[in-house]
A and B are shown apart, each in its own frame.
Chain A
Amino acid sequence: MFDEEYLKKIREKKEDWDKNFENAKERNVKFVTDSDIPIRRLYTPLDVKGDFLEKVNFPGVPPYTRGIYPTMYRGRVWTMRLFSGHGTPEETNKRWKFLYENGETGFSAAVDALTFNGIDPTNPDGAPEVGTSGVPLYCIDSLFALTEDIPIDKVSVALVVEPFTSAPVCAMYFNMAKMRGYDLKSLIGTTQNDILTMTVGYIPYKNVAPNHLLRLACDFIEWTVPMKNVPQWHPINFTGYNYREGGIDAVQELAFVFASACSHIDNLVERGWKAEDFVNRLAFHLAAHKDFFEEIAKYRAARRIWATLMKDRYNIQDPKSMEFRFHVQTAGSSLTAQTPKVNIIRTAIQALEANLGGCQSLHTNSYDEAICLPSEEAALIALRTQQVISEETRITNTVDPLAGSYFIEWLTDEVENRVMKYIDKIEKVGSIDKALSTGFLYKEMRDAFHKRRARIEKGEEIFLGVNKYPEPYDTCTDVFRTNESAIQIEVDRIKKLKARRDNAKLENILDKLRNMCEKEENVMPIIMEATKEGATVGEICDIYREIWGIWEPPLAI
C-alpha cells in the first residue's frame, strides 16, 4: 500500500529504532490478543501488506472491509435492540414499550427454556422454569399478547428461537400478523434459527439430531425468502455470540459461523435454489468481547471474509449479496456478579468496539445480568450507554475511523488468515451437522473453555472483583425476580386455547406433519396451518421427537 522506495527508508529507520530501544523496559506480561495472537511493540507501514483497493477499499463496495453502506452511521445510526423477555408475554410487551419510549429502535424476544426446547408448561419437568429465563411463547395467543399495540411493520422484531422451535414459534407470529391485517411481505424482523446455539452454546433438552435441525433451519429459510412468503425477513442469524460465550476465541467464533453458514447455503443449493436467491437475507450475531482492538479487527475481517466466500465459493456477482450484516451483543461472560456496577463500564467499552467496527444493530448487557434477568433500571442504563455513544461522542461523524491504523490493518489480516485456516479444519470433518454429531465441535468448545479457565486461574486473564481486587459475592445487587404466577397464567392460556380449538381438525393436520417429517418435505406450510388451528409449540416438537427420535449430544468433559 506504500511506495517501495519509501518503505525501504522506513525499514532502515525502523532497524535503527529497534536497536536504540532494544533494552527499553517492558512489563513482564504476555502481549497477546484474546485469541492468543502475539502483538508486537509497534506497528508501522511495513506491517500493512497488499493492495488498498483490493483489501480495504471504500465503504459500500466489496470487499466491504470498511462497512456495508457508503454512509454508515452518517446515514442511519445502528439499531438499538436490547434483549427482552421475562415472566409472561404481557410483561415483556410492557418492557418493550418502556424501552421504546426511551429510544429503543428494535425489539427482541428472548424465549424461556420451555419455548427453546419445545416443552409445554403442562409438563411438570420444566414448569418451574416458565418465564424465568425469557418470555414464554407456547401458542398463538402468546404472540398476540407479546405484540399488542406494537407496529410490527415499522419496528423490526427479533425472535430468539432456534431450529427446533423456529418453525412453530415464527408460524404463530406470522399467523398473528395476518390475523391483525398485516401483509407478510411487509414484515421486518429476524429469527435466530441457529443450529449451533442449541447444540454447543447450550445443551439441548430432548431435541432431535443435528441433521434434522439443519434441515429444519433450511426449511425455514427456504419458505420465507426464496419462496418469497416473508421476503424481507432475516430467516437466520448465525449466532457466534452464543458459542463465544462458551469460551472460544474471536477466530473460532468467526470460523464457526462461516462454516455453519456455508453448510446452510450448500443445503439450499442442493434443494435447487441459487445462492443469490437468499444470501442477502442471512444475518449474523457476533460478540463484543474484552479485547478492544481484536474485536474491531474481527468485524472488519468478517466483512472481507464473507464477501470473498460469496464471490469465490458461490460465484456471486451481485455486490448486494456479498454484504455481511451483523448484530452485536456485548459479552455477558465478561460480566461479574461481584461489584456489578463495574459491568456498566465493561459494557460501554465493548459497545464502542461494535460501533467502531460498523455493526448494524447492538445489544448492550444490563449490569445485573451476571445474576438475573435485567431489571427495568439496569436495562435503561444499558440503553443509555448506547445513546451516550451515538448522541454525545461524535464517533458517528465518519465511516470506519480506525482504517489505516497500521496495527488495525495488520490485525485485520491476521484474524482473516487464522479464520480461513480454522474453517478448513472444521470442513475437514464435514458439514456442520457432522461436525456436531461426531463430537468435533464439542471437543473444540471444551478445550477452549478449559484453556480460558486455566488462564483465569493463573491470572493471565483478569476479572476485577474476582481474581484481582476480589470482593465477596454477597455484596451483590438487588435481584430482579420473574413473575412467580407465570406458570399458572401460561397453563391457563393453553387450557383456554385447547377448549376453543377444533381438536379433530388439528389431529388431521398434525398427521400431515408426521408425513412431511418422514418424507423430508418443507414443514413450514403445514406448521402454518397447525399453529393457526391452535397447535402448541410442544405439540409440534413432540411430532419431531416421535418421528426422528431424541438426540443425546456427545459429552465432552
Chain B
Amino acid sequence: MPDKKIRVLMSKPGIDGHWRGGIVVSRALRDAGMELIFGGFQNIKEIVESAIHEDVDVIGLSIHSGAHLTYTQQVIDLLKERGVLDDILIIVGGVIPAQDFPKLKEIGVANVYGPGSLVSDIVEFIKERITK
C-alpha cells in the first residue's frame, strides 16, 4: 500500500527578503496534502543539494528581485549537471513580468506565476503533472 506524497522544495534564491509569496504558496501546498520542505534563502548549490537530499518532485523558486532569469538558469544548469533535471518539475513565482514567461519556459520551467496568481491553480498544476 504505497503512501506516496508529493514532495516540494520551496526556495528563495538570492538575498531578497520578500518571503510572503513563497510562504503563502507553501501553506497552500501543505493544505493540499503535499510535503513542503521550506528552504528559505538558498544559493544555487544549496537549492540543488536540498532537492537531492529531500528527493523532491517539485522545486518552487520564489523570486521578487528582478533577477529571475539569472537565478533560474543557474538552478537548471546545476540540476542538469547533477543528472536530476528530468526528475524534477520546476515552477517559478513572484514579480515576474509576463514578457519573461516564454523565456523561462524555454529554458525548462514548467510554469510561471506572476502577481495576482491563484494558489489553487498552482496546486492543480502540480497535482496534474506529478500524479498523471
Contacts from A to B (Cβ < 8 Å):
113-114, 116-117, 119, 124-126, 128-129, 132-133, 198, 202-206, 246-247, 336-338, 370-373, 449, 453, 463, 465-466, 473-476, 479, 481-482, 555, 557
Contact = CB atoms under 8 A, between A and B. Distances in A.
A555 B38 contact: yes
A372 B99 CA distance: 12
Among B19, B98, B99, B101, chain A packs the most CB atoms within 10 A around the CB of B98
A371 B23 contact: no
B70 interface: yes
A126 B14 contact: yes
Interface string B6-21: 0000000011111110
Given A205-B41, A557-B26, A557-B27, A338 B116 contact: yes
A133 B115 contact: no
B41 A133 contact: no
Given A205-B15, A337-B116, A473 B98 contact: yes
Contact of A336 (B71, B95, B116): B116
A133 B68 CA distance: 12
A54 to B, nearest CB: 42
A335 to B, nearest CB: 9
B67 A129 contact: yes
17 contacts: A114-B15, A116-B17, A117-B15, A125-B14, A129-B67, A133-B65, A203-B17, A203-B18, A203-B19, A204-B17, A205-B17, A206-B41, A338-B116, A371-B114, A371-B115, A473-B116, A474-B101
Contacts of B65: 113, 128-129, 132-133
A465 B97 CA distance: 16
Given A202-B19, A203-B17, A370-B95, 9 more contacts: A113-B16, A113-B65, A116-B17, A126-B14, A129-B15, A338-B116, A371-B97, A473-B98, A481-B66
Contact of A557 (B23, B41, B43): B23
B97 A119 contact: no
Contacts of B24: 449, 453
Contacts of B117: 473
B24 to A, nearest CB: 7
Contacts of A247: 20
Given A205-B41, A449-B20, A371 B15 contact: no
B66 A482 contact: yes
Contact of B97 (A128, A132, A479): A479
B25 to A, nearest CB: 11
A449 B95 CA distance: 18
A205 B64 CA distance: 14
Contacts of A371: 95, 97, 114-115
B97 A113 contact: no
Contacts of B17: 113, 116-117, 198, 202-205
Contacts of B95: 337, 370-372
Interface in B17-59: 17-20, 23-24, 26-27, 38, 40-41, 43
A337 B64 CA distance: 14
B96 to A, nearest CB: 9
A460 B38 CA distance: 31
Nearest to A471: B116
Among B15, B71, B114, chain A packs the most CB atoms within 10 A around the CB of B15
Contacts of B97: 371-372, 476, 479
A128 B14 contact: yes
Contacts of A481: 66
Contacts of B115: 336-337, 370-371, 473
Interface string B84-115: 00000000000101110100000000000011
A132 B71 CA distance: 13
B23 A466 contact: no
Contact of A133 (B19, B20, B66, B71): B66
A463 B115 CA distance: 12
B102 to A, nearest CB: 10
A125 B116 contact: no
Contacts of B20: 246-247, 449
A179 B16 CA distance: 33
A479 B99 contact: yes
Nearest to A453: B24
- Across the A-B interface, give the 3 residue pairs with the lowest CB-CB distance, nearest first: A202-B17, A132-B66, A128-B67
Contact of B98 (A117, A336, A474): A474
A522 B65 CA distance: 33
Contacts of A449: 20, 24
Among A126, A370, A449, chain B packs the most CB atoms within 10 A around the CB of A126
